[in-house]
Amino acid sequence: MSIINHPGPEISEAMAAEIAERHFGLKGLKGRLASERDQNFHFGPQGQGAVLKIVNAAEPEDAIRFQVAMIRHVKEADPDLAVPLVRLSKSGEALPVIEDGKGGHHLIRAVDYLEGAPFAEAAKTPELLASFGSFLGRLDRALQSFGHVGAHRDLDWDLRKAGRSRARLAAIHEPEAREICDYFITRFETEIEPRLAKLRASVIHNDANDWNVLVSADGQAIAGLIDFGDALHTALICEMAVAAAYAVLDAEDPLGALSFMLAAYHREMPLQPDEVDLLFDLVAMRLVTSVTISAERAPRIADNPYLNISERPAWDMLRRLRRIDPFIAKAILRQACGFEVAPGAAKAAEWLTRNRKSLSPIWGRPLSNHCILQVPFGDASHPLVKAAAAMDVAACETAWQTLCKAENAELGIGPWGEKRAVYAGEMFQSKLIDKVRRTRHLGLDIFADAGTPVFTPLAGRVASVEIEKEPLGYGCVVLIEHEPEPGVTFSSLWGHLSHETAKHLKNGQMLSAGEKIGTLGSSQDNGGWLPHLHLQLVAYSTDDIGPIPGVGEESYLDVWAKLYPPAYDFAGLTPETFHRDGRPGDEIVALRRKTLLPNLSISFRKPLKMVRGEGVWLIADDGRAYLDCFNNVAHLGHTHPEIVEVIARESSRLNTNTRYLHDNMVDYAEKLGATLPGDLKVASFVCTGSEANDLMLRMARAKTGEKDMVVVDWAYHGHVAELIDISPYKYKRAGGAGRPSHVWEAQLPDTYRAPADWPIEEHGKRFAESVARQVEAIRKAGRKPAAFIAESIPSCAGQIFFPPHYLEEAYRIIREAGGICVADEVQVGFGRVGTHMWAFETQGIVPDVVTMGKPIGNGHPLAALVTTPDIAKAFNNGMEYFNTFGGNPVSCAIGLKVLEIIERDRLRDNAKAIGDYLMARFRDMQKRYEVIGDVRGMGLFLGLDLVTDRTTKAYATDFANRVVNLAREEGVLIGTDGPYDNVVKMRPAMIFTRREADLLCDVLDQAFARASAEA
């Protein structure tokens, strides 16, 4: 006879009162208390009451002694835990024996009566659930140091034995009910039981059901736990499973309720992910055990109300759990404990963040480079949303076109996590939470024309290709599994593609990064939506599209964010697309007018507010990324991580001046000198190109004792007064005071506009004659030239490339006249020309002084002058040279790093290769656009000389301006230069790639076509 069907003791109340008094001195019987197999009698007084238990004779004595020992242990380990302490009898026994008057013997015991209302009747607030979780956590923590022979029991209520439910299934006749049990039992047999056997085990209470748990008078906290009759040694996680099975029975959001309990339990008694992973199924199996036991006993013990007490709610809950995807449940419970939501999800997310820059664009050109609008799916009153909800595709299309036109947008996006009014159908009813709809979008939508191709940013395996034909479905949907490095696996889901896409892809097919996946489906193809891509990251590996939710419950957004992280990086969108900071552009323009010099200029007709730089991209405040083809300062790319690191590291160490010794300055002088030919070995570090050139003037004067300067027409050498004086580009244009008497302009050696009768091979010599004429003029004035200064490739003058031998001749003439020769490499130095480190080297000469700036510090204010020991000696005339910031250790470390990276990454070779490619494409464009009079370039220093007439070579200033502004509208930044601003000027970073070169050329081509059409 088993304990279950062994008749319980039958002691009368009078007898119980007598026994209680005799053995324990208990008085004031208050009544009976429910028990499944024992008899319980409640004795007063209030607050110090006790329960007399008459133990079922079939109960093994070991089991009873085990319970007594267990409660005592808990009280010792955690005295504040409210468990019913076992009282000793008058003779000092915990378990006296009585005779029941019919010859039967029973162990009896008295335990403290714990005050409190049953948890079953309490409102299950988050606070109460958390209090319950922590109570159990403390209990189980206390039990970690407890063991007892009686704990090793064979009980159907042991969840490790829940598989026995299969044998009881026959007692369930209703097919749906049976299917539910069979489903969970099968899962238990195949997935849970083998893993349960490997988990931590300890003694647990094992029956914290809602009638065994007591709640404080205010309903906020757990007041006690009673009935240790099912305690045993089993897997620790079963404690939580049993308790949760009852605690969440009437919850609208059972997993939410369980999460409150679990999180609190975990804080007291940390669980392991493997344990938490089984919890959902174990909760279900506790209910399955309960309903199958009830069903089996029903015919036999139909009148035992205790057995049926939780049956109906148990069935209701089982029905709800059956609809929940166990994988999602696991994720929610893992999240409650602070574990990663799915194994590998954290690694996948971390990999994606770390490698976002290495991903190929998903669109023909980078998504963030487009002019994008946010589709107002969050606004239920918007015509587009109304049309979408009504599935009126034509109205949707019209609303969309109107929007695009109004905002001048090329693409639309629907952000991740957006709360949407369009999800109205039955399919959006939550399976997790009663009476709640799924409203939050878990993908990234990109709206564009049907037929637009999409490309995978990463190599991957086609895990699934399906066509969902039903309305509001995905249409063609593709799942790609990526494993970018061993141990990092995740998937990407591409929904609403054309049916054509499915014809070209098959399961298992490998796609390489950048390879085409398919095209956007039309409304007929894509479930009846406006054409768009639904791109969703799945932070785990799966071949099954079906269970991946595209829309989720608001309250689980934190879980969705980890399971299905926003695909922004993956798609190449910038975070600024979604969060705009700071003042709007027009406010800044107004403030600039009020607070800053009015002669600061602003680029483009529609000014841009840039908020971030990254490589070749500048990101504006609306998140649009502009391809920067103009800024030669960010030589290695904007915010180069190694430069940023050096700045941070060195700044945190020391920043002082040159009056102290430091390694950085001498190291840098040595390394910089090594890049230069001849005697150019003595360096001076300053902060700007102007300072370098100003210092150069002082040196030239010190060396020669003269002041007269020969400069190239339209040159620019800096903004300080002495340099404006030697910059025709400034003194001859608006606001300039004209040429000072000590400055002499040599003709600009512009071979494109050279006199037609000059033989091309004589251009160098012919232009240099102008230098000779200036020297002669100086001589006639009774003086000698101090120096000749030339940008190695005049830039402000319009990207002018000297003809061969020009500098050779010019230098000879100047040196013969006693002057020194200066190469201004502020714009063109540091390998930009590709073939050489210094642009002057292309002319085969060695200057006496080289000045450098702009790219030297990749954006950090650093500049330098390098000269010969001879000139340095002449400059050393007794006056100290001191520059507060020049040569500080931080700047020198940055300069060193820039040199190292140029060399290490072979950036000169890149400049040459990409420059050659660009030149070829520009020459091709020149064939198609009359306006391109001349194409000039070397490495990544390039110019297009625009003319209104190829014969007269008249400057096409307006056209150039139009091209630059059109390119800006298309997301590409270029500029104009030259005295007449007719030269389109490009100086992209040295890391410019072929893909970016193509984008530049495509945009230029379009801009030329549009501007030509308008002209």
Ligand X SMILES: Cc1ncc(COP(=O)(O)O)c(C=O)c1O
Residues that bind ligand X (CB under 6 A): 688-690, 693, 716-719, 791, 795, 824, 826-827, 853, 863
Two structure tokens written together for 339:
């574990």
**Nearest CA among 553, 612, 577 for reference residue 413:** 577
Of residues 213 and 712, the one with the C-beta less far from ligand X = 712
Place of tokens 């979008």: 441
Torsion of CA 630, 634, 639, 640, to 10 degrees: 120
Secondary structure element (H or E) that encloses residue 730, with its range: helix 728-731
Under DSSP, the state recorded for 804 is T
Residue 713 Cβ vs ligand X, minimum distance, rounded to whole Å: 14
Place of tokens 């890049």: 675
Q: How far apart are CA 44 and CA 88, in angstroms?
A: 17
By the 10 Å C-beta count (0-12 exposed, 13-18 middle, 19+ buried), 54 is classed as buried
Under DSSP, the state recorded for 188 is I
Of residues 75 and 717, the one with the C-beta less far from ligand X = 717
Residue 860 Cβ vs ligand X, minimum distance, rounded to whole Å: 12
For residue 674, how many other CB atoms are within 10 A of its CB?
9
Cβ(886)–Cβ(665) under 8 Å?
no
Residue 973 Cβ vs ligand X, minimum distance, rounded to whole Å: 17
Under DSSP, the state recorded for 982 is -
Of residues 614 and 981, the one with the C-beta less far from ligand X = 981
Residue 800 Cβ vs ligand X, minimum distance, rounded to whole Å: 12
Query: Using CB atoms, what's the residue nearest to ligand X?
Result: 689
Q: How far apart are CA 299 and CA 58, in angstroms?
A: 22
Under DSSP, the state recorded for 503 is H
Q: Which residues contact 199 (CB under 8 A, 6 or more apart)?
A: 235, 236, 237, 272, 274, 275, 278
Residue 861 Cβ vs ligand X, minimum distance, rounded to whole Å: 8
Of residues 520 and 826, the one with the C-beta less far from ligand X = 826
**Nearest CA among 864, 861, 772, 785 for reference residue 820:** 785
> At residue 4, what are phi and psi to the nearest 5 degrees?
-65, -45
For residue 670, how many other CB atoms are within 10 A of its CB?
12
End-to-end CA distance of the chain: 104
Cβ(484)–Cβ(459) under 8 Å?
yes
Two structure tokens written together for 65:
């002694």
Of residues 533 and 711, the one with the C-beta less far from ligand X = 711
Q: Which three-class secondary structure state does DSSP give residue 350?
A: helix
Of residues 326 and 853, the one with the C-beta less far from ligand X = 853
Of residues 236 and 822, the one with the C-beta less far from ligand X = 822
> At residue 443, what are phi and psi to the nearest 5 degrees?
-115, -175
Cβ(696)–Cβ(686) under 8 Å?
no
In angstroms and rounded to an integer, the radius of gyration of the C-alpha atoms of the chain is: 41
Beta bridge partners of 272: none
Of residues 565 and 853, the one with the C-beta less far from ligand X = 853
Residue 609 Cβ vs ligand X, minimum distance, rounded to whole Å: 22
Cβ(683)–Cβ(668) under 8 Å?
yes
By the 10 Å C-beta count (0-12 exposed, 13-18 middle, 19+ buried), 597 is classed as exposed
**Nearest CA among 728, 750, 751, 746 for reference residue 738:** 728
Cβ(812)–Cβ(829) under 8 Å?
no
Residue 863 Cβ vs ligand X, minimum distance, rounded to whole Å: 6
Q: How far is CA 58 from CA 4, 6, 41, 61, 102, in A?
A: 9, 7, 19, 9, 16
Cβ(926)–Cβ(913) under 8 Å?
no
Q: How far apart are CA 967 and CA 928, in angstroms?
A: 18
Of residues 791 and 970, the one with the C-beta less far from ligand X = 791
Residue 687 Cβ vs ligand X, minimum distance, rounded to whole Å: 8
Q: Which three-class secondary structure state does DSSP give residue 331?
A: helix
Q: How far apart are CA 473 and CA 497, in angstroms?
A: 11
Cβ(317)–Cβ(210) under 8 Å?
no
Place of tokens 């200066």: 822
Q: How far is CA 265 from CA 128, 252, 326, in A?
A: 12, 21, 21
Segments of 275-329 assigned E as strands: none
Cβ(24)–Cβ(48) under 8 Å?
no
Residue 824 Cβ vs ligand X, minimum distance, rounded to whole Å: 5
Residue 746 Cβ vs ligand X, minimum distance, rounded to whole Å: 16
- Label the pairing between strands 972-973 and 625-628: parallel
The secondary structure of 303-372, three-state, reads CCHHHHCCHHHHHHHHHHHHHCCHHHHHHHHHHHHCCCCCCCHHHHHHHHHHCHHHCCCCCCCCHHHCCE
